Structures are given as C-alpha cells and as structure tokens.
Structure 1
C-alpha cells in the first residue's frame, strides 16, 4: 500500500504513539463519526444512529489494526447480527410486535437468546468476528429496530461508520485495511 501524501500534517502522518494522543485520536474521531451519522439521521429522519455504533467506533479508532476493526469484519459481523435478530423475531412470532423492555416474556427472552447464540456462532464460523454485532443482534431481537426498512437503515449506519473509519484512519497515515485484516507477521 502507498504511504500517505507528504502534505498530511505531522501529527497525522503516523499512528499516535503516546497514550494521550491515542486517547485524543479515538475520542475526537469517534465523536466526529457519530456526530456526522447523527446529522444524517436528523436530516433523513431514519434510524441511522443506534447503540452498537459506539463500540464499533471504539474499535475503528482505538484499535484500528485489530482484525475485529477491519471493514470486512465490521460489515459482515453487523449483517450477521441483523439477520440473526430478524430470524429470531420471526421464529418467536415477535416480528410484528413492538418492543417492551419492561415486561420480558418467554418469547422475548427466547428471541434474544436465539439471536445472540446465532450471532456468536456464525461470526467465528465465518471468521468475521466483530463484538459490537452482539449488541446489534439484541437491538433487533428485542424489537427496538425490527421493520425491514429499519434493518436496512441499521446497515446503512454501519456502512457510514465503516467508510468514515477507512477515510479517517487512512488520512491519519494508519495502515488501516481497505477490506481484510492485515496478515499476521
């Protein structure tokens, strides 16, 4: 892969090495990424902003070189979570029921357990681990986002934050992968 342009500022040319710099890099870029997605959600009226984007942002900016943070694992992991959650809603008959976190039923408990079990089984099977997808699957299985349109918007939010991760990390001079994690040395 090519090195970043010499026009990029000195602080951004290489991965910040000190703990305070790494913390600032992670905090600022997580803030900016979620703020931009929040603005897109406000303008579009779509549910692009949801809880599991927080831990995804953390991985993308605090640990960008880990396999769990690569674009492939981020996108596929969340897709597995969305599909597992939707499947669990279907098999428990909750796909058309509104969420109710105050009165957990056997069906709701089963949907959450099925969704998480599938997500935690399929990600390693596919070799696409992305821990925040465990939260995505529960968001869906608990019915917080459950319609086909909402599930598409969940994935749009994931695509947006992943694209921001690629652009920001690459501009910062981090050898962040375009798709797959870098091979182990």
Structure 2
C-alpha cells in the first residue's frame, strides 16, 4: 500500500467517524451540530495537526472572533431576527453587507491575534447569513465546533501513535 493511500484512508475513517458522531449528538440534543464550518476545521486538525491553523489557540480564538464579528454585524445591520438566506432563497443587500463586513472583521482579528484558522471565515458567514442564527442554530454550531476542537486532536494523536507503533514493530507494510 502506498503511504498516500494509507493517509487518505486514515483521514476518510477519522473524519467520517468524527462528523457522524457529532451529527448524531446533535440529533439527540435537538440541534443541528454538523455545519459547514466543521468540515474544514476537522480537515486541518486531522490532516495537518502540526500546522499553525490547527493549533488549539488559533482555532478557538479564530472561531470566537468569527462568532463575535458575526453577531456584531447581525446587530449592526438590524438582522437579528431576519430570515436566513435559505428561507428567503436569496440574500438581501443588508445581509451581503453584514456577511462581507463580518468576514473582513474576522480576518482582521485573526491577523491581530496571530490566530490563523481559515475555517473561521465560514463561521462568520454562517451567522450573518442567518443559517446559524442566534438561538438553537447557533448553539448547535458552537456545540459542533467545541466537539471537533476537543475530539479531532485526540483522534489525530491516536492515529499517529498507532502508525508510529506499527512502524516500530515492522507492521507498516
């Protein structure tokens, strides 16, 4: 087996296990915990655990900044109770403004905090588009993020330790 195939299979199984578990947890508690920001976050944490973007500090500060920017832009543009772009089937000029400003503000904060984690931009968009609006949709997204940030590094470390043991034992063929 090639190393690339083994690495790909590892990522396939780890990410599928992680995200299915988070989705199932969300169903149990009645929230949508599996949102689009989780995929790229899981990828960084599982595939590139040593990168700057996968550092827990970067991921937590980045998503926290995105949540703050998203909520501030919802309030500033008067969109707190506005229907989501999914319900409307389009976005309004105010939503576009809030989305653009929230992502820009998030990227500014990531630079100022030296907390580079690109998936946070998706978090800002999910909030300002109304998809992860304040209330249960936001709680679900935050729960999903917390679970990914807590579990993915453990899975990556366990998989790395298993691979290292196999290599030491000569079973890595």
TM-score (norm 2): 0.85
User: 2: distance between equivalents of 1:106 and 1:171?
Assistant: 47
Selected match of 2:47 from 42, 52, 62: 62
2:64 is the counterpart of 1:79: yes
2:102 is the counterpart of 1:115: yes
**Structure 2 equivalent of residue 48 of structure 1:** 33
Deviation at 1:96, TM superposition (A): 0.9
Give the 3-state SS of the residue equivalent to 2:151 in structure 1.
Answer: helix
Give the 3-state SS of the residue equivalent to 1:172 in structure 2.
Answer: helix
Q: Is the 8 A contact 1:79 1:155 kept in 2?
A: no
Q: Is the 8 A contact 1:77 1:123 kept in 2?
A: yes
Superposed structure 1 runs of 4+ greater than 6 Å apart: none
Query: Aligned Cα RMSD in Å?
Result: 1.6
Deviation at 1:81, TM superposition (A): 1.1
Q: Residue deviations 1:60-98, cap 9 Å, x none?
A: 111111110122211221111111111111000001111
Deviation at 1:148, TM superposition (A): 4.1
Q: Which runs of 5+ in 2 are unaligned?
A: 162-173
Q: Which runs of 5+ in 1 are unaligned?
A: 1-16, 175-185
Q: Residue deviations 1:21-63, cap 9 Å, x none?
A: 2111111111111001011011111121101101111111111
User: 1: distance between equivalents of 2:38 and 2:78?
Assistant: 27
Residue range with higher mean Cα deviation, 100-109 or 155-164: 100-109
TM-score (norm 1): 0.80
**Structure 2 equivalent of residue 131 of structure 1:** 118
User: 2: distance between equivalents of 1:28 and 1:103?
Assistant: 35
Where is the helix percentage greater, Structure 1 or Structure 2? 2
User: 1: distance between equivalents of 2:139 and 2:131?
Assistant: 14
**Structure 1 equivalent of residue 169 of structure 2:** none
Q: Is the 8 A contact 1:60 1:69 kept in 2?
A: yes
Q: Is the 8 A contact 2:31 2:139 kept in 1?
A: no
Deviation at 1:157, TM superposition (A): 1.1
**Structure 1 equivalent of residue 73 of structure 2:** 88
